[in-house]
């Protein structure tokens, strides 16, 4: 009876923490819909790979050269290892000379985890949406960018572990690049056929007819 009471007491203490568990460690930007998508994708990634995915979306005005790796350490007590963290800081100064702002960082808890994803792809998936010239507001672009970047990250991690995600978003940029590659390959094949293989084929054919 005493053991049952102890277990019940522990569950009562832990339940609020479990209900409030989130993969978003700082949120100055995200709308509830975007936050829910990220948590859903992170939950699936954790259940299928054992790797936690976290997001820090901050409006902090980091100076040029600010160490985001060191900054990420301040959240470690709220994270479970192994993990990969996506930091999005739109107000962070890139260089004073260019006056450019906006930094994205992907930080793994262990170096070996960085082999499970392509950092450039994740950064591009985040930034390309924000850089696009369209009618979306800046805030909407931030939300779309963070969700798309996180989706790309967890998709690649899952693929590296030979599992398929069902809650991630299609990467339109990757699809377009794939289509362009196919067009280039088809074009190259046609060029080879028209200028190399076809003349050679015709010579052989005409030679046999003679």
Each residue of 1-51: pLDDT tens digit? 444 343 434 433 333 333 345 899 999 999 999 999 999 999 999 999 999
Residue 60 has pLDDT above 80, yes or no: yes
pTM of the model: 0.72
Q: Are 36 and 157 in contact (CB under 8 A)?
A: no
- Selection from 153, 88, 166, 84 nearest residue 125 by Cα: 153
Q: Average pLDDT, whole number, for the chain?
A: 80
Residue 176 has pLDDT above 50, yes or no: no
- The per-residue pLDDT for 205 is 65
**112 vs 73: CA distance, rounded Å:** 18
Q: How confident is the model at residue 199 (pLDDT cuts 50, 70, 90)?
A: confident
Least confident of 70-74, 136-140, 176-180, 182-186: 176-180
- Selection from 27, 105, 123 nearest residue 36 by Cα: 27
- Average pLDDT rounded to a whole number, residues 143-153: 93
- The per-residue pLDDT for 19 is 37
- The per-residue pLDDT for 28 is 94
């Amino acid at each position: 009876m005493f053991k049952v009471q102890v277990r019940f007491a522990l569950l009562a203490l832990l339940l609020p923490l479990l209900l409030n568990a989130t993969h978003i460690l700082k949120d100055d930007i995200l709308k509830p819909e975007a936050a829910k998508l990220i948590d859903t994708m992170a939950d699936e990634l954790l259940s299928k790979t054992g790797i936690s995915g976290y997001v820090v979306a901050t409006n902090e005005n980091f100076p040029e050269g600010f160490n985001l790796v060191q900054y990420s350490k301040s959240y470690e007590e709220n994270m479970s290892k192994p993990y990969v963290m996506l930091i999005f800081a739109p107000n962070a100064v890139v260089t004073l000379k260019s006056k450019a702002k906006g930094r994205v960082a992907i930080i793994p808890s262990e170096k070996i985890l960085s082999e499970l994803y392509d950092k450039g792809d994740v950064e591009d998936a985040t930034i390309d949406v924000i850089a696009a010239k369209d009618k979306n507001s800046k805030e909407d672009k931030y939300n779309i960018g963070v969700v798309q970047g996180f989706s790309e990250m967890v998709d690649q991690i899952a693929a590296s572990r030979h599992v398929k995600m069902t809650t991630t978003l299609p990467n339109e940029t990757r699809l377009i690049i794939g289509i362009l590659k196919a067009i280039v390959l088809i074009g190259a094949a046609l060029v080879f056929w028209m200028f190399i293989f076809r003349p050679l084929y015709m010579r052989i054919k005409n030679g046999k007819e003679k």
